[in-house]
Chains A and B, each alone.
Chain A
Amino acid sequence: MHTVEALLALIILIGAVAYASQTAPKQICTGEERTQLYLYGRDFLNILDMEHGDHTSWLYHQINGTVNGSRWNAAENIINEWNKTSLPSKGVFCKVEIMNLTEKGINVVNFSAGEPSEDAVTISKIVTIVNPPYVEIYEVRLTLWYA
């Protein structure tokens, strides 16, 4: 009888500990790390979109070259630039999505160095392509995460 009580107690205890370990906050990425990811992404897109004298930018030309029939892959080229930062060697990876927000509907071109984790951070930049009389608006989404 005592053995049965002990077994019952053991099962209850193990169940409680298992529940506690599962419901405890799984904070893989701290607030500070998320802030750092956000800053990496915003800084990177700002640099790619640095304005030229004709009000275009490297990012503008990448998007324009990709969507207007040239055989460019802006998403892949953006990831190649990201790799130059050596941040992937620190475990920071990215995914790039380019979305057409104008009347043609959402058209996603994406390129990724893997699948983003649950606590990935997404930063976006709006790029307006002007080919008179047409104006198209694209959103470049950069999703960053720690591997």
Chain B
Amino acid sequence: MQMEKGQMSVDFMIATTVLIFGISLIITQIPMLFAPLLTISTDIHAVAYRTSMILVEDAGIYCENGSITSAWEDPEKNAWNFSQYLRNRRNYLSNVRRIGLAMNAPVWSSHEDTVPNNLSMRKIQALQDWWDDSANRSMLWEKLGLLVSYNGDPVNYSFNISLKSFNNMLIWNHSAGKPLLQIGHPIPTGATVERIERIVAIDDCRNLGMGIGDNECCGILEVCIWK
């Protein structure tokens, strides 16, 4: 049967064209149009960023009887390790208010309290020892700022934090026979995981990672966060 009319009218085509123009204009002009639908992803990225900042650019806070110091790994400066503080100071864990890994500034330094990007080996070891202590491991979420409250409801972020060399291998603590820093749970597949990488130097170390500038040991602190 022979068709006597067009299958689509010009009016319809003009309307369709106007519609396409309109939609493209909206998408172009409002780049954050779909942001409200992505709250989980954007929230996780902000948390990963904050956690990396706390670890790399802050030395932490230890508070006892109103006295505050950033040397949370050795607040009494008696060279005890994590286990010794845990054994000899009953309130040690609760006195640690925040965990940071940046080393405390030397007396001659222009920095006021901490040296950003220069991680303290003793703080790294204390954090790893804390994670290895399964009885007190759960307190780490609060100390790292990963246990927060939204509208009265607790929100717990999962994490995986590790120190890697530039070839993406874990930096190894040969004397302890384990990774220098690897805390948190295995990264899940299929979940939204936000990853932040920070280039860091490690203070007081030998033969760990690659040197940059005149820093002997440098590597990547990888912070992965998910819900």
Name A residues whose Cβ lies closer than 8 Å to a Cβ of B. 1-2, 5-6, 8-9, 12-13, 15-17, 19-20, 23-25, 27, 32, 35-36, 39-40, 43-44, 46-48, 50-53, 55, 57-59, 81, 84-87
Contact = CB atoms under 8 A, between A and B. Distances in A.
Q: Is the interface of A mostly helix, strand, loop or mixed?
A: helix
B212 A81 contact: yes
Contact of A16 (B20, B111, B201): B20
A129 to B, nearest CB: 16
A9 B167 CA distance: 56
Interface in B149-208: 166-168, 194, 196-201
Contact of B199 (A1, A35, A47): A47
Contacts of A13: 13, 16-17
A85 B212 contact: yes
A20 B167 CA distance: 42
Contact of A5 (B10, B21, B108, B111): B10
11 contacts: A5-B8, A12-B17, A13-B17, A16-B20, A27-B31, A32-B194, A35-B49, A39-B198, A47-B212, A47-B218, A55-B108
B118 interface: yes
Interface size class for chain B? 35 or more
A47 B45 CA distance: 24
B10 A9 contact: yes
B68 interface: no
Interface of B: 3, 5-10, 13-14, 16-17, 20-21, 23-25, 27-28, 31, 45, 49, 52, 56, 106, 108-111, 115-118, 166-168, 194, 196-201, 210-215, 218
Q: Is the interface of B mostly helix, strand, loop or mixed?
A: mixed
A139 B52 CA distance: 26
Nearest to A5: B6
Nearest to A21: B24
B7 to A, nearest CB: 8
Contacts of B167: 86
